[in-house]
Amino acid sequence: MTLEARHLTCRRDHRLVLDDVSFTIGDGVLACLLGPNGAGKTTLLRAVLGLEKVAGKVLLNGADLSTLSPRETARRIAYVPQTHSVAFAYSVEEMVAMGRLSHARFGLLADKEDQDAVANALRLMNIAHLAGRAYAQLSGGEQQAVLIARALAQGGRTLLLDEPASALDFGQQKRLWTRLRELAGTGYTILCTTHDPIRARQIFDEALLMRSGRLMECGSPADVLTDEKIEALYAS
């Protein structure tokens, strides 16, 4: 899937949060979005999903997402937020099954297609052995894998992740990035926010730099994530 944003602009209380943001991310591309806190990164992800009121357009393989219902959008593009908590003792399988809500007709896992999608998502994230475990009792890395599996179960080929590695230790981060790299290799289009330019140089295909609601630069990590540009990006 090719994800394209055209001139996205968002205002809150007369403040410009997104300022004419445009970019294109192609099929099978693993892209990162970097910028200081308050740059508008999370707002941009939410705008792409249709969760923010914005001017401009978001296209997925040429289709304008604003013309689709929330249910139809959820079948094409999935979001993994930075933080997530649950109030009930859901199992891992139940958490992943929630990704099928946009497809379900007779209840979660009532349809074989839903069951197969959940099983495949668990397999892709190497967590099938955790299916019966309580989500709340898992480690941070395991919980992150479950949330990504839930996004995969939605069935779309485009993933947006907000700081997916922020609460993980080094080993968990390495496994996460390896898995996302593998998913991109099978055709998933993935955009992640991150504050780790060093790791981003090693892992990502494309980098987007954002500051004060504006997209400052897009391109290959070798060209975009230079020491000079990163220093300017995060300068006070």
Helices and strands in the chain: count of H runs, count of E runs: 9, 10
Q: In terms of DSSP bridges, do strands 158-161 and 214-219 run parallel, antiparallel, or are they unpaired?
A: unpaired
75 alpha carbon, distance to own chain's centre: 14
Q: To which residue do tokens 């891992």 refer?
A: 92
Handedness of CA 9, 46, 74, 193 (dihedral sign): positive
So what's the pLDDT on residue 172?
86
pLDDT at res. 154: 93
pTM of the model: 0.92
| pLDDT at 221 (0 to 100) | 95
- What pLDDT, on a 0 to 100 scale, did the predictor assign at position 1? 85
pLDDT at 109: 63
- 170-185 and 140-153 are packed helices; what angle lies between their axes, rounded to 10 degrees? 20
∠ at Cα 130 (128, 135), nearest 5°? 130
Torsion angle defined by CA atoms of residues 208, 201, 76 and 65, in that order, rounded to the nearest 10 degrees: 10
Answer whether 172's CB lies under 8 Å from 20's CB: no
Cα of first residue to Cα of last residue in the chain, in angstroms, is 36
Predicted local distance difference test score (pLDDT) of residue 110: 65
In single-letter form, the type of residue at position 175 comes to R
For the chain, domains (ranges, CATH) are 1-76+157-236 (3.40.50.300), 83-155 (no CATH)
Tens place of pLDDT for every residue, the chain, 236 residues? 899 999 999 998 888 999 999 999 999 999 999 999 999 999 999 999 999 999 999 999 999 999 998 888 989 999 998 766 776 789 999 999 999 888 766 556 668 888 899 999 999 999 999 999 999 999 888 999 999 999 999 999 999 999 998 878 888 888 889 999 999 999 999 999 998 998 899 999 999 999 999 999 999 999 999 999 999 999 87
Which residue shows structure tokens 């219902």?
69
